[in-house]
Structure 1
Amino acid sequence: MSTGDPLTLTDAPRYASSWLGLREPADAAARSQSLLSLLRPRLSGDLLIRDLGTGTGSMQRWLAPQLPGPQRWILQDHDADLLAFAASQAATTASDGSAVTVMTRHADLTELTSGDLLSTSLVTASALLDLLSRDEVDRLAAACSSAGCPALLTLSVTGAVEFTPSDESDAEFADGFAAHLRSHVPGRELLGPDAGEYAAQAFASRGATVHVASTPWRLDSSHAALIDEWLRGWVAAAAAQRPSLDATDYLTRRLDALATGELRVILHHTDLLALPRRANDSTSGAQR
């Protein structure tokens, strides 16, 4: 749990390595195994996997040991320091004992084209779609569909949060945070909590069969440090968007419940698997 003034509001960058490391176990527990079961039959031979917005590499560490190899991963991110860390900590063995290797690409994911994906077996991303605009998701869906490349895009925030015990201000802060997600990058309107649904439509409209799974974090007293860090950032973001909210009082009540072991949080996400149409496919669309 954070130290210092218990009422300090923090809004650490979503890309901070400390935050990404803290959330990694919860991400791994939440990601959908049912979508992975649907994906495996579409993968064969030597795999080339491109991970977008790699961060510290948690997606690669989670997925590579669950797929048969050999595997080559391209880790792509705009942050060179995070890329270096991800490469140094990458999983190196596939589920069948085959070798897994990684290379890095220091680039913005919006530069991705269908040409980049022509030999790619799979595109992956984690906690990324809600940080994209409609145009960026459309370009990603078009690139994957044109190249016939499946996409596994996990842990998109929906904006829905459930607290136990509940508080009369929960909904106001949830609305404020959702608004913040859409507008916190100047000059760009991000999808935020609408990302999962919009991406499903974008891929389906381009002929892919889309499967969506609910993948919430389920946090209790055993996740106290994660709840503490997440809660401070969540409250700060909501208050930045809605200054009329009494953030200090609300955070006090929530941290008190956390300190006594009472607070439990369900933070909702969705995972999306888009499987492009093959030559003998006669149907496409979204499935849940």
Structure 2
Amino acid sequence: MTMALASRCPPEWLELRESADAAARAGELLGPLDRYLASRPAAGGPLVIRDLGCGTGAMGRWLAGRLPGPQHWVLHDRDSVLLDRARAGVRGPAADGGAVTVETRETDITRLRAPDLAGTALLTASALLDLLTLDEVDRLAAACAGADCPALLTLSVEGRVELAPVHPLDAEIAAAFNAHQRRTTGGRRLLGPDSATAATEAFERRGVRVWSGASPWRLGAGQAALAAEWLRGWVAAAVEQRPALARPAEGYLRRRLDACAAGALRVVVWHRDLLALPWPSGGGER
């Protein structure tokens, strides 16, 4: 499996956002996932769950205890430092007390094929789809459909942000940020806010049913550190995309950070979670 994604994501950022990610994920998607897994013939061993772009292992920490066991997690990432943290951080027990085991693989995943998923009961990824291209998302859907493998794909950006109190520059910063998310880099045109729609269409073309759920970050005074770091990155990306914003964005960011530090800023960053289930012909939920 090969992959060429954007530069390394700092582990400090991943750790800072983990609690907000956990609170945001669309837990209602676990119901159909549980029913799907229960409908499958017993494999005679643990559920093999592959986490693509696992980072520090946050998805495993959130999901392992919500699914029945035993489970064997295969954590994929291109960063050995992140993999070391993930290996130590994903533990059991499973929801029914079953054992949870872990292995890590320093691999890339944009050229995933169905044979790579042989024996896999579930593929997961978090905050990954928006870093992919249309072709890469299409290959991912093809691999899952070809292997009859369900996929839980969470926290893809939707391009919608709400800030309170409102500022006149909010919409312009947001538009520039969304354009940055859709930029072409290294010859790859990223999907950014279009990724959840593109993935849904790619799975449905192959006869795979897709459930969808909103997974917004809701950041207030209790998440001031995350909100401040998100603001810095959000504005920096907007300015990189539109350098003419640099001067007004400087004052904008300063005022927003002051409000954040005072506990007076509220931010909602909208994401979308997808669950793709290849129900057996003639059975399952319709």
TM-score interval, smaller chain: over 0.9
Amino acid at match of 2:87: A
Describe how 1:2-151 pairs up with structure 2 within 5 A: 15-44=9-38, 45=42, 46-151=46-151
Shift of 1:111: 3.4
- Measured in 2, the distance between the counterparts of 1:40 and 1:174 equals 37
Counterparts of 1:133 and 1:112, CA distance in 2: 13
Amino acid at match of 1:27: D
Give 1:183-222 correspondences, 5 Å limit.
183=183, 185-222=185-222
TM-score by length of 1: 0.91
* Structure 1 position 14, deviation (Å): 6.6
Within the candidate set 247, 265, 268, 2:267 is matched to 265
* Runs of 4+ with deviation above 3 angstroms: 281-284
1:274 corresponds to: 276
Q: Is the 8 A contact 1:207 1:277 kept in 2?
A: no
Segments of structure 2 that go 5 or more residues without pairing to the other structure are 1-6
SS in 1 for 2:163: strand
1:282 and 1:125 mapped to 2: Cα distance?
A: 24
The TM-score, its normalising length taken from structure 2, stands at 0.92
Distance, in Å, in 2 between the alignment partners of 1:105 and 1:256 is: 42
Between the aligned partners of 1:32 and 1:91, the Cα distance in structure 2 is 22
Once the two structures are superposed, residues 10-68 of structure 1 have per-residue CA deviations (whole angstroms, 9 ceiling, x without a partner) of xxx67110000000000000001110111011114531100000000000000001011
Distance 1:261 1:234 in 2: 19
Pick closer, same or farther for the CA change 1:78–1:226 going to 2, 3 Å. same
Identity %: 56
- Structure-1 separation of matches of 2:98 and 2:281: 30
- Report the alpha carbon displacement of residue 82 of structure 1 after superposing the two structures with TM: 0.6
Cα distance, 1:247 vs. partner?
1.5
- The aligned counterpart of 2:3 is none
Structure 1 gap segments, 5+ residues each: 1-12
Measure the CA separation in 1 of the matches of 2:272 and 2:25. Answer: 9
In structure 2, C-alpha distance between the alignment counterparts of 1:141 and 1:259, rounded to whole Å? 42
Deviations for 1:113-169, whole angstroms, at most 9, x for unmatched residues?
100112110000000000000000000000000111000000000110000101011
Match of 1:182 in 2: 182
Describe the shift of the 1:14–1:184 C-alpha distance in structure 2 as closer, same or farther (beyond 3 A). Answer: farther
Q: 3-state SS of the aligned residue for 2:69?
A: coil
**How many residue pairs are counted as aligned between the two chains?**
273
**Aligned letter for 1:204?**
E
Name the SS for the 1:244 alignment partner: helix
The 1-side partners of 2:85 and 2:184 are apart by 27
CA distance, structure 2, for counterparts of residue 51 and residue 112 of structure 1: 13
- CA distance in 1 between counterparts of 2:85 and 2:171 reads 37
Residue 50 of structure 1 contacts residue 120 of structure 1 at CA under 8 Å; is this kept in 2?
yes
* Equivalent in the alignment of 2:227: 227
Q: Is the 8 A contact 2:80 2:106 kept in 1?
A: yes
Structure 1 residue aligned with 2:153: 153
Please tell me whether the aligned partners of residues 90 and 102 of structure 2 are also in contact (alpha carbons under 8 angstroms). yes
| Counterpart AA for 1:266 | V
- Native 8 Å contact 1:179 1:241 kept in 2: yes
Corresponding residue for 1:3?
A: none
Per-residue deviation, 1:207: 0.5
Letter in 1 for 2:278: P
